[in-house]
Amino acid sequence: MAGSLKDLPQIQSLLDRPTIARLAEFYSHAETVAALRITVGALRTDLLADASTSLPEFAGAAFAQSVADAIEAARTPSLRGVINATGIIIHTNLGRARLAPQAVRAMQMAGADATNLEYNLETGKRGSRHAHVENLICELTGAQAAVVVNNCAAAVLLSLMSTATGRTVVASRGELIEIGGSFRLPDVIAQSGAVLREVGATNKTRIGDYADAIDDTTAVLLKSHTSNFKIVGFTASPARTDLARLAKERDVILIEDLGSGVLIDLAPHGLVDEPVVADILKAGVDLVMFSGDKLLGGPQAGIIAGRRDIVAQLKSHPLMRALRVDKLSLAALEATLRLYRPPFDPMQEIPVLKMLSAPPETVELRARRLADAIKTHGLDDITVVETAAYVGGGSLPQQDLKSFAVKISVTGLSSDALAAAFRHSATPVIGRIERAHVLLDMRTVRDDEVPMIADAMARMPR
Ligand SMILES: *Cc1c(COP(=O)(O)O)cnc(C)c1O
């Protein structure tokens, strides 16, 4: 029966009904009132949009259940665990790197307990938060010194503010990158108070272009890793060793924004365009910076490694305090870095590296296990297909990894509706849609998540 606005009950009169009063007792008065406002408000909106909207039986169990659902929904945390079945290992929208259990335990400790964050246990005096990871970073990269800030964007900003404010930064036109989330190198340089001096052309920059651009105002030669695009064909850029020699000769600083930054060579695993941090420093780069939560496989952080005198300058910069790493991330970062040393094998211990290097057969087996665990109805179509997975996090889109997905279509549900149903399952499952099917890529899914996906499938609306 169609309703009208005057049939919408007062909140108080609803609270007097036994079904709703029981909810207020079971949950709380405040939550019940809030849920009633939302539920009745939605009905009012529906009525205003469409006068033929029928109203529920306010005394009935179904209405009470809808209010209970609204209360439960309000109790669900906003930030939730999801299953990444996109095939993109470092997915910025899904929180980038998943931490190793050792890193999670370290975070738990640093959160629950008092720590020696800035306390020297030897002397009983004030210590430095930078000390906990500096030696590890130096050991793993060959750097003289290192410091960690909030993220790589902060690392670039702090480095330029500390070395080039009021002076010029020389950078190649081919490397003035934008990465996701509106981080544009020219804007960051401007925000640091430095002046950008562009050299070369989009596709070719020679060492002579840099040499010609250096004058009394120059403080920095800035190189950045063009990780998320590739210029192919008639291209040239000088070798790092040549840039380093030039910087030394002309007494300017060579800085490289590396983005992902790997500590071990991943070329054997198909990632040929990711230079190793140690090699960059060996080539003579003065300061290199990279993210903690991309290929390194740790928490959000910006790691800066390089010359001792420059790092010392960064540590004492007035804005260091505003950009510094927090204790939870620091704990997770130390634990992650320790997995790069004996007795550990980082390819096995660090989830990002493990997903990246998993043999295709392992991924295919996982896909078959999921396909077998799904009980089909009617004309449901469940098959295992070969796909391409990606590293993500700004790494080259061309560098794909052979992968396998479970390809699903469900009778009576569009692929959009199916993808939405997966997103709304108890643990949301995020896949991708391809040609009217939902694809769940198994390279980014952990074995223990497979039954959760099967469960989401079993509860699909039909
Ligand atoms: C990802 C990236 C950054 C920013 O790193 P965040 O840790 O997200 O701040 C900067 N530069 C390059 C080249 C990148 O790829």
Q: Would you state the pLDDT for residue 202?
A: 86
Q: Would you state the pLDDT for residue 420?
A: 95
**Helices and strands, number each (H, E), in the chain:** 19, 18
**3-class state of residue 453 by DSSP:** helix
Could you give phi then psi for residue 145, rounded to 5 degrees? -155, 160
Of the three residues 301, 327, 346, the one that is the final residue of a domain is 346
Looking at per-residue pLDDT, the higher value among 355 and 178 belongs to 355
Q: Is residue 393 part of a domain?
A: yes
Q: Would you state the pLDDT for residue 397?
A: 62
**Are 243 and 128 contained in the same domain?**
yes
**3-class state of residue 157 by DSSP:** helix
pLDDT (average), residues 449-453: 96
**Are 371 and 407 contained in the same domain?**
yes
- Nearest-atom number in ligand 1 for the CA of 153 is 9
pLDDT single digits (tens) 353-397: 999 999 999 999 999 999 999 987 777 899 999 999 999 887 666
Ligand 1 centroid – CA 396 distance (Å): 13
Q: How confident is the model at residue 145 (pLDDT cuts 50, 70, 90)?
A: very high
**Are 218 and 326 contained in the same domain?**
yes
Tell me the best of 188, 291, 391 to mutate to test the pocket of ligand 1, counting ligand atoms within 8 Å of each CB and taking the most.
291
- Residue 227 in contact with ligand 1 by CB distance below 6 A: yes
Q: Which of 51, 59, 40, 60 is nearest to 3 (CA)?
A: 51
Instruction: Report the C-alpha gap between 231 and 203 in whole angstroms.
Output: 7
Find all residues with CB under 8 Å of 343, minimum gap 6, and list them: none
130's tokens: 């930078």
Q: Is residue 416 part of a domain?
A: yes
Nearest Cα residue to atom 14 of ligand 1: 259
Instruction: Report the C-alpha gap between 171 and 169 in whole angstroms.
Output: 6
DSSP codes joined into one string, 34-96: HHHHHHHHHHHHHHHH-TTPBPP-TTSHHHHHHHHHHHHHHHS-SS---EE-SSEEE-GGGTS
**Which helix (H) or strand (E) is 185 found in, with range?**
helix 185-191
**Are 401 and 446 contained in the same domain?**
yes
User: Which CATH number characterizes residue 337's domain?
Assistant: 3.40.640.10
Looking at per-residue pLDDT, the higher value among 227 and 84 belongs to 84
Burial of 140: CB neighbours in 10 Å, binned 0-12, 13-18, 19+? buried
- Nearest-atom number in ligand 1 for the CA of 224 is 13
Half-sphere exposure of 96 (CA within 13 A, CB side): 18
pLDDT (average), residues 88-110: 97
Q: Is residue 427 part of a domain?
A: yes
**Are 150 and 53 contained in the same domain?**
no
Ligand 1 centroid – CA 294 distance (Å): 9
Cβ-contact 315, 175 below 8 angstroms = no
**3-class state of residue 382 by DSSP:** strand
- Residue 291 in contact with ligand 1 by CB distance below 6 A: yes
Domain that holds residue 194: 101-346
Instruction: Report the C-alpha gap between 22 and 37 in whole angstroms.
Output: 17
Q: Would you state the pLDDT for residue 1?
A: 52
- Residue 298 in contact with ligand 1 by CB distance below 6 A: no
pLDDT single digits (tens) 8-32: 999 999 999 999 999 999 999 999 9
241's tokens: 């060793």
Of the three residues 318, 346, 374, the one that is the final residue of a domain is 346
Ligand 1 centroid – CA 198 distance (Å): 20
Nearest Cα residue to atom 10 of ligand 1: 259
pLDDT (average), residues 55-77: 93
Of the three residues 346, 361, 380, the one that is the final residue of a domain is 346
Nearest Cα residue to atom 12 of ligand 1: 259
Cβ-contact 454, 419 below 8 angstroms = no
- Mean residue pLDDT across the chain: 94
- Nearest-atom number in ligand 1 for the CA of 96 is 8
Q: Is residue 218 part of a domain?
A: yes
Q: How confident is the model at residue 272 (pLDDT cuts 50, 70, 90)?
A: confident
Q: Would you state the pLDDT for residue 68?
A: 96
- Residue 151 in contact with ligand 1 by CB distance below 6 A: yes
Cβ-contact 237, 205 below 8 angstroms = yes
**Are 39 and 71 contained in the same domain?**
yes
Q: Would you state the pLDDT for residue 370?
A: 97
**Which helix (H) or strand (E) is 290 found in, with range?**
strand 287-291
308's tokens: 């001792």
pLDDT single digits (tens) 58-68: 999 999 999 99
DSSP codes joined into one string, 278-313: HHHHHTT-SEEEEESSSTT-SSS-EEEEE-HHHHHH
Q: Is residue 244 part of a domain?
A: yes
User: Which CATH number characterizes residue 440's domain?
Assistant: 3.90.1150.180
Ligand 1 centroid – CA 301 distance (Å): 10
Ligand 1 centroid – CA 358 distance (Å): 25
Cis ω on the peptide bond leading into residue 343 (within 30° of 0)? yes
Q: How confident is the model at residue 411 (pLDDT cuts 50, 70, 90)?
A: confident
- Nearest-atom number in ligand 1 for the CA of 258 is 13
Q: Is residue 96 part of a domain?
A: no
Nearest Cα residue to atom 5 of ligand 1: 152
Cβ-contact 141, 258 below 8 angstroms = no
pLDDT single digits (tens) 275-285: 999 999 999 99
**Are 130 and 266 contained in the same domain?**
yes
Question: What share of the chain has pLDDT > 90, as a percent?
Answer: 82
**Are 221 and 163 contained in the same domain?**
yes
Q: Is residue 392 part of a domain?
A: yes
- Residue 153 in contact with ligand 1 by CB distance below 6 A: yes
Cβ-contact 136, 292 below 8 angstroms = no
Q: Would you state the pLDDT for residue 396?
A: 66
Q: How confident is the model at residue 177 (pLDDT cuts 50, 70, 90)?
A: confident
Tell me the best of 150, 157, 183 to mutate to test the pocket of ligand 1, counting ligand atoms within 8 Å of each CB and taking the most.
183
Nearest Cα residue to atom 1 of ligand 1: 259
Ligand 1 centroid – CA 118 distance (Å): 27
Q: How confident is the model at residue 398 (pLDDT cuts 50, 70, 90)?
A: low
**Are 325 and 358 contained in the same domain?**
no
Ligand 1 centroid – CA 168 distance (Å): 22
For residue 229, give the amino acid letter. F
Cβ-contact 226, 176 below 8 angstroms = no
Ligand 1 centroid – CA 285 distance (Å): 18
Instruction: Report the C-alpha gap between 380 and 377 in whole angstroms.
Output: 6
Alpha carbon distance, N-terminus to C-terminus of the chain? 26
**Are 331 and 361 contained in the same domain?**
no
- Residue 256 in contact with ligand 1 by CB distance below 6 A: no
Nearest Cα residue to atom 11 of ligand 1: 259
pLDDT (average), residues 106-127: 98
Residue 104 has pLDDT above 90, yes or no: yes
**Are 205 and 266 contained in the same domain?**
yes
- Residue 257 in contact with ligand 1 by CB distance below 6 A: yes
Find all residues with CB under 8 Å of 368, minimum gap 6, and list them: 384
Residue 5 has pLDDT above 60, yes or no: yes
**Which helix (H) or strand (E) is 224 found in, with range?**
strand 218-224
Residue 166: how many CB atoms within 10 A of its CB? 10
Looking at per-residue pLDDT, the higher value among 376 and 265 belongs to 265
Ligand 1 centroid – CA 273 distance (Å): 16
- Nearest-atom number in ligand 1 for the CA of 260 is 15
- Per the structure, how many domains does the chain have? 3
- Residue 395 in contact with ligand 1 by CB distance below 6 A: no
Q: Does the CA dihedral 70-75-78-83 come out positive or negative?
A: negative
Q: Would you state the pLDDT for residue 2?
A: 64
Find all residues with CB under 8 Å of 169, minimum gap 6, and list them: 160, 189, 194, 195, 196, 197, 218, 219, 220, 221, 222
**Are 184 and 283 contained in the same domain?**
yes
pTM: 0.92
